[in-house]
Each structure stands twice: as structure tokens, then as C-alpha cells.
């Protein structure tokens, strides 16, 4: 605990209670002992009386003022003064709290004086304009605080900065809101009202003055919060005295509430008289003000109808059309504009018998109603019509959720079937055309156990088959399908690589080069056919040399997959010799 007073850390050369000169070493030991004992008293107090709002040490320099105001006796001048704030409704507990705490204080042999008060009593001190005392409470060092002490402290520091800057121009600095109501917590905003005297301002327009004042006063907010060390955010409202007086004369309800509930932390004889006059019923609105405030109710019905219309149509329109766009995109359509929406929705779902006509009609009705509202063809709406729209929206959205499930199921079926087909096609290229069961057995025996593929590949294959079977039985879900898809991509990648390697082996078995006098051509024997590559063209040799295609070549390579040897007919060489002359084979 680092006990501080309102001006900063205590000077170790002075007594922390009365600031009298002392021996530094002796004072240090005494201070540590006092600190330890005060902590014990604090712990006892908040454990025994859990409702205590705040507990703090009053600044030593404020003690003479407490004695002067007869809030403490003369003999307490050398004591540590503890301020304990309790809820207003616990005021009858004051005697009991004091009795219990005095017993605890006596155990410590420390000189401690107690000030037990409620928030209402603090506000009474301020309204009696005993600002030195209210300032001392605000600047007491917090040992325990649920919010009121921190809020008071940040307001007090901000007030001091404002007064220091503007000196005599500050008329009143008043707190209000949750702090005065008694429900402030450590993060509550602190509402303050600052009234500045502008009656002798001649060098600048009052509006410009107000903006400058706001800029400077707002700058002090962060500084005050940092010095106070609290989370509470100050929310200052700044008024020029002339404007404030006009609002009082006009009986502005906001200003009247501020005067009625506010508590001054500083006042130069202006705020408290207004407060007294209000209590006496002397502040009354003028006939013009009454007319103005009464006239505010004249337009409430048309305004409310317009607001209701805007809120309902905006919410229903976007709440109905946005899911419709989403469901179309889910079905593979590009997002339509509002003009295209109904037609696209009808074509995709009603024409394919995926949704009933009444839901298409409802969507069309909502879009038409929105257009009529935009073009001001609809100026008000009955409660019965609102109920119909809301009920229709509820049924429509429920049906769209069901439609989403149907679309996702269809997509999942397409996905799982496509993945299954792609994997099985690759398996057949490698193993041969067999049934699913035979493919799985051969893959396990000839490729997993021989190390050509890993156990992970076997697991992925079995998981894919299992996911497909479960989906057909209605037991699978989108997460399992997606997992099967991701894993199948690994299997298909490795199966493809295997096929490509096998193709290369098959190609290389029957590949040779033939050198003639002036050129070299390549031959490829595959699937009982011989192909010739010359000048970027694919040709084949049958009884003669003729043009061929890449598709025919690929088919022949596929047929060669499972053959261990390549047979080349002797007549191939005869045809080549006849076409090109003598040649030499280059392997």
C-alpha cells in the first residue's frame, strides 16, 4: 500500500498524519507498522460488513478543516482518519459499525478516527457548499472501493484542472447521473455539468467560445482519468451561463432535471439558488415554453406511424430477400438483384418442384410492398396487416431452412458420388475392372501390404466407402462428407501419381529411336500398335504410315498397363525402310 494525499506521494521526511518533521528512519518504521495495521482494520471491516461501498484514508492536510467544521474533535488531529461510505439504507447500522471497528482499532494500538457516512450525507456536505470536505472525501486514498470513490476522485481532479485553467469564469461544476443516484460501479460513466460565465465576453462570438471551451475541457478528461487511476469515463456537458439561463426561463426539462438531481462540487452562488427556487416552485415555464413543449406531441402520431412503417418494411424486406439470395447461391446460382430475385427463385425452386407456390407468392408480395413503400404508395399500415406480414415471414423463413437442408443433402449426394466415382476409376486403371469388394481386397493385398501405398490410403478408401453407405441410409452429415472429400483428395493425388508413373514405365518399355541418314524419329509401341512421332505429328504404322491422334495414343497406352512385355512386329521395320531407307535403331 502506497498511501498518498491529494497532492501526490507523501514526503518521507514528514509524518504521514500531520506532516510534522521527523527522523526519516524512525518514520519509515512507524509508517510500515501503521500501514500494516490499517490494512488489518480494512480487511476486518469489509469482511464483517460486506455492504461497505468504499473505505479510504482522508488526506492529512484536510484534517484541520474537519476539526474546524466540528466533524472531528481536536484530539483526533494526530490520528489517521478513515472515511467509510455505506449505502443510504444502512444508515441505522452506523452505530454498530463504529462499535465493532473501534474494538478492532483498540487491538492495534493505532490512533484512528472513523468518519462513517452515506452517499446522501456526502451530497449534503457538497450542497452545504463545504467543498473542502467533499474534496477531501473524493481525494482520500482508496483502501476499498466499489465505484463511488473512484468516480468522485476523477470528477474532483477534472474540476481542479478546469478551475485552474479558467479561474473566475467557472460558475458551477456539478455531478449527476448514476453517481448521484447511488448505482455507480467501477466502470460507470461520470456525468458532470460545467457552467461558464460568458456575460463579459466581447472578443468572439459565443458559439465559437463554447467550441473552444469544449475542446480544452475535453482534453482534461484523459489526464484526470490517468491521475485518478480509474476506469470511469467522464461525460462533461458544458453550458454558457447565458444559454443556461435561457433554458431555465424556458423550463427545459433536461435542465430542470439537472438542477433537481445535480450535486455541486464547486459553485459560486449560482447553482444552489436555482436548486432552492426549483424546490420552492418558483422556477416555472413561460406560456411560450408550455406551447412549445405541448406542440412536440402534435406530430407524435404521424411520426410514430412513419417510423413504424420504415422499421417494419425495412426489417421484413431484408429479412425475406437476403435469405432468398443466399439459398439461390447455395443452389449454384449467381447472387441476383432485387429485380431478378423473384424470377430466379421461381425458376430454380418452384419450376423444379422444390418449394410450394405460396412461398414464391409471399416473396413476390414482400418485394412489391417494398416498392410501393419506396414510391410512397403506402403511407400507413394496420396492425392486422403487420401481423399477417410477420406470420408470413415466420413461415417463409422456416420453409427456407427446410429447403436449405434439401439443397445441402443434394449437394452432399453429388459430392460423395463424384468423389467415389473418381477414386474407383483410378483404382480400376491401376488394378483393372473389378467390383468394389474385389478392388478393395486387391488394393490391400497387392499394394498396401507390398508398401506401394500406406495404411493411411487404405483407411481413407474404407472411410470413403463407409461415408457413402451411411449417406445412402440417411445417417451421414455434412461434416463427415466434407472430411471424406478432403481425405479423398490425398488418395486421388497419390493414385494419380502412381498411374502417371505406371504410364511412364509402359511408355518407356516400347519406346525407341530410329536414325536415318538425315533425321531421327521416335517410335512408341503400345497396345499392339506402333506410333511414330515426326515433326510434332502423331502417326501410326499399320500396313503403311498414316495419321493418328493423341486420343488413340492414350487408349493404346492404357491397354499396355498390365502387360509385362512389348511385342514389335518385324513388318514395322520393313515399312520404315521402304518409307525412309536404311536406318539404325537407337535404344
* Cα(81)–Cα(312) distance, integer angstroms: 61
pLDDT band for 507, please (50, 70, 90 cuts).
low
Model pLDDT for residues 327-338, shown as the tens digit of each residue: 888 888 887 887
234/3: higher pLDDT = 234
Q: What is the pLDDT, as a whole number, of residue 502?
A: 65
Q: What is the pLDDT, as a whole number, of residue 28?
A: 74
Count the residues in the chain: 587
> How many Cα atoms within 13 Å fall on the side-chain side of residue 537?
8
Highest mean pLDDT among 173-182, 202-211, 506-515: 173-182
pLDDT band for 7, please (50, 70, 90 cuts).
very low
Q: What is the pLDDT, as a whole number, of residue 571?
A: 83
Give the mean model confidence (pLDDT) for residues 67-84: 92
Q: What is the pLDDT, as a whole number, of residue 53?
A: 94
pLDDT band for 6, please (50, 70, 90 cuts).
very low
515, β-bridge pairs: 520, 584
**333 and 348 Cβ atoms separated by less than 8 Å:** yes
Highest mean pLDDT among 90-104, 227-241, 374-388: 90-104
pLDDT band for 339, please (50, 70, 90 cuts).
confident
pLDDT at 394 over 80: yes
Q: State which H helix or E strand residue 295 sits in.
A: helix 287-295
21, β-bridge pairs: 14
pLDDT at 178 over 90: no
Highest mean pLDDT among 2-11, 253-262, 436-445, 499-508: 436-445
59-63, 221-225, 412-416, 499-503: segment of lowest average pLDDT: 499-503
Cell numbers that stand for 537 in this block: 505429328
SS3 content of the chain, % helix, strand, coil (to 5): 60, 15, 25
Q: CA angle 346-349-355, nearest 5°?
A: 105
Q: What is the pLDDT, as a whole number, of residue 16?
A: 42
Q: What is the pLDDT, as a whole number, of residue 3?
A: 32
140-149, 269-278, 547-556: segment of lowest average pLDDT: 547-556
Q: What is the pLDDT, as a whole number, of residue 10?
A: 39
237, β-bridge pairs: 193
Q: State which H helix or E strand residue 383 sits in.
A: helix 383-431
Comparing CA positions, the residue from 66, 119, 81, 114 lying closest to residue 5 is 81
Average pLDDT, the chain: 83
pLDDT at 11 over 80: no
Cell numbers that stand for 393 in this block: 415471414
170-174, 194-198, 314-318, 518-522: segment of lowest average pLDDT: 518-522
Give the mean model confidence (pLDDT) for residues 29-58: 91
* Cα(3)–Cα(38) distance, integer angstroms: 11
Q: What are phi and psi of 298, to 5 degrees?
A: -60, -40
- Calculate the alpha carbon distances from 414 to 407, 411, 491, 517 in Å: 11, 5, 19, 58
Q: What is the pLDDT, as a whole number, of residue 583?
A: 78
**β-strand 80-85 against 112-117: which pairing, if any?**
parallel
* Cα(42)–Cα(48) distance, integer angstroms: 10
Give the mean model confidence (pLDDT) for residues 461-471: 86
pLDDT at 51 over 60: yes
**CB burial string 197-209: b at 16+ within 10 A, e below:** bbeebeeeeeeee
Q: What is the pLDDT, as a whole number, of residue 363?
A: 93
pLDDT at 2 over 50: no
Beta sheet of 529-534, edge-to-edge order: 545-547, 537-541, 529-534, 520-526, 511-515, 584-586
Comparing CA positions, the residue from 428, 416, 409, 432 lying closest to residue 465 is 416
Alpha helix (H) ranges present in 434-521?
Answer: 436-442, 455-472, 478-509
Model pLDDT for residues 240-273, shown as the tens digit of each residue: 998 888 888 777 777 888 888 899 999 998 899 9
> Which conformational region is residue 381 in: left (phi greater than 0), alpha (psi within -120 to 50 degrees), or beta?
beta
Q: What is the pLDDT, as a whole number, of residue 220?
A: 92
CB neighbourhood size of 146 (10 A): 16
**514 and 576 Cβ atoms separated by less than 8 Å:** yes
Percent of the chain with pLDDT over 90: 32
266, β-bridge pairs: 173
56, β-bridge pairs: 83, 142
pLDDT at 278 over 90: no
* Cα(308)–Cα(72) distance, integer angstroms: 61
Give the mean model confidence (pLDDT) for residues 124-134: 93
pLDDT at 288 over 80: no
97-111, 157-171, 557-571: segment of lowest average pLDDT: 557-571
Model pLDDT for residues 404-432, shown as the tens digit of each residue: 888 888 888 888 888 889 888 888 888 88
Rg of the chain over Cα atoms, rounded to whole angstroms, equals 45
**CB burial string 524-559: b at 16+ within 10 A, e below:** bbbbebbbbeeeeebbbbeeebeebeeeebeebbee
385, β-bridge pairs: none
* Cα(331)–Cα(418) distance, integer angstroms: 17
pLDDT at 166 over 90: no
Give the mean model confidence (pLDDT) for residues 439-468: 89
DSSP 76: G
Amino acid at each position: 500500500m502506497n498511501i498518498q494525499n491529494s497532492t501526490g506521494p507523501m514526503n518521507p521526511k514528514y509524518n504521514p498524519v500531520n506532516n510534522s518533521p521527523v527522523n526519516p528512519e524512525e518514520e519509515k518504521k512507524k509508517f510500515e507498522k501503521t500501514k500494516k495495521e490499517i490494512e488489518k482494520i480494512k480487511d476486518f471491516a469489509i469482511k464483517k460488513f460486506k455492504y461497505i461501498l468504499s473505505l479510504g484514508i482522508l488526506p492529512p492536510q484536510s484534517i484541520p478543516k474537519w476539526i474546524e467544521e466540528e466533524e472531528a474533535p481536536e484530539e483526533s488531529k494526530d490520528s489517521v482518519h478513515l472515511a467509510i461510505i455505506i449505502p443510504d439504507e444502512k444508515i441505522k447500522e452506523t452505530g454498530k459499525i463504529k462499535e465493532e471497528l473501534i474494538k478492532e482499532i483498540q487491538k492495534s494500538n493505532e490512533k484512528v478516527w472513523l468518519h462513517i457516512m452515506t452517499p446522501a450525507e456526502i451530497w449534503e456536505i457538497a450542497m452545504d457548499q463545504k467543498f473542502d470536505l467533499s474534496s477531501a472525501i473524493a481525494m482520500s486514498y482508496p483502501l476499498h472501493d466499489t465505484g463511488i470513490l473512484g468516480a468522485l476522485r476523477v470528477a474532483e481532479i477534472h474540476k481542479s484542472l478546469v478551475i485552474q485553467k479558467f479561474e473566475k469564469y467557472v460558475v458551477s461544476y456539478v455531478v449527476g447521473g448514476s453517481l448521484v443516484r447511488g448505482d455507480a460501479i467501477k466502470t460507470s460513466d461520470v456525468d458532470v455539468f460545467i457552467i461558464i460565465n460568458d456575460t463579459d465576453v466581447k472578443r468572439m462570438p459565443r458559439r465559437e467560445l463554447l467550441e473552444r471551451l469544449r475542446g480544452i475541457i475535453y482534453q482534461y478528461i484523459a489526464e484526470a482519468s490517468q491521475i485518478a487511476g480509474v476506469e470511469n469515463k467522464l461525460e462533461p456537458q458544458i453550458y454558457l451561463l447565458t444559454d443556461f439561463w435561457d433554458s431555465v426561463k424556458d423550463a427545459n426539462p433536461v435542465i430542470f432535471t439537472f438542477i433537481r438531481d445535480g450535486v455541486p462540487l464547486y459553485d459560486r452562488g449560482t447553482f444552489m439558488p436555482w436548486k432552492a427556487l426549483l424546490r420552492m416552485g418558483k422556477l416555472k415555464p413561460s406560456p411560450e415554453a408550455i406551447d412549445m413543449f405541448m406542440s412536440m406531441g402534435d406530430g407524435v402520431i404521424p411520426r410514430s406511424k412513419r417510423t413504424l412503417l420504415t422499421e417494419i418494411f425495412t426489417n421484413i424486406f431484408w429479412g425475406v430477400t437476403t435469405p432468398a439470395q443466399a439459398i439461390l447461391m447455395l443452389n449454384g446460382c449467381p447472387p441476383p438483384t432485387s429485380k431478378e430475385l423473384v424470377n430466379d427463385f421461381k425458376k430454380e425452386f418452384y419450376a423444379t418442384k422444390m418449394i410450394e407456390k405460396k412461398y414464391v407468392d409471399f416473396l413476390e408480395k414482400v418485394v412489391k410492398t417494398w416498392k410501393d413503400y419506396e414510391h410512397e404508395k403506402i403511407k400507413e399500415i394496420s396492425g392486422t396487416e403487420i401481423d399477417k406480414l410477420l406470420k408470413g415471414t415466420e413461415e417463409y423463413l422456416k420453409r427456407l431452412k427446410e429447403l436449405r437442408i434439401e439443397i445441402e443433402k443434394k449437394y452432399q449426394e453429388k459430392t460423395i458420388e463424384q468423389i467415389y466415382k473418381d477414386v474407383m476409376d483410378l483404382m480400376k486403371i491401376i488394378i483393372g475392372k473389378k467390383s468394389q469388394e474385389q478392388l478393395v481386397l486387391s488394393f490391400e493385398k497387392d499394394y498396401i501390404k507390398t508398401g506401394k501405398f500406406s495404411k493411411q490410403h487404405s483407411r481413407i478408401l474404407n472411410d470413403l466407402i463407409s461415408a457413402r453407405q451411411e449417406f445412402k441410409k440417411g445417417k451421414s452429415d455434412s461434416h463427415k462428407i466434407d472430411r471424406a472429400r478432403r481425405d479423398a483428395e490425398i488418395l486421388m493425388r497419390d493414385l494419380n501419381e502412381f498411374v502417371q508413373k505406371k504410364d511412364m514405365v509402359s511408355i518407356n518399355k516400347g519406346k525407341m529411336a530410329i536414325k536415318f541418314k538425315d533425321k531421327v524419329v521416335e517410335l512408341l509401341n503400345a497396345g499392339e500398335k506402333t506410333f511414330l512421332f515426326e515433326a510434332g505429328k502423331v502417326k501410326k504404322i499399320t500396313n503403311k504410315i498414316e495419321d493418328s491422334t493423341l486420343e488413340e495414343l492414350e487408349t493404346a497406352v492404357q491397354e499396355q498397363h498390365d502387360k509385362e512385355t512389348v511385342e514389335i512386329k518385324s513388318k514395322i521395320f520393313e515399312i520404315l525402310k521402304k518409307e525412309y531407307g536404311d536406318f539404325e535403331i537407337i535404344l
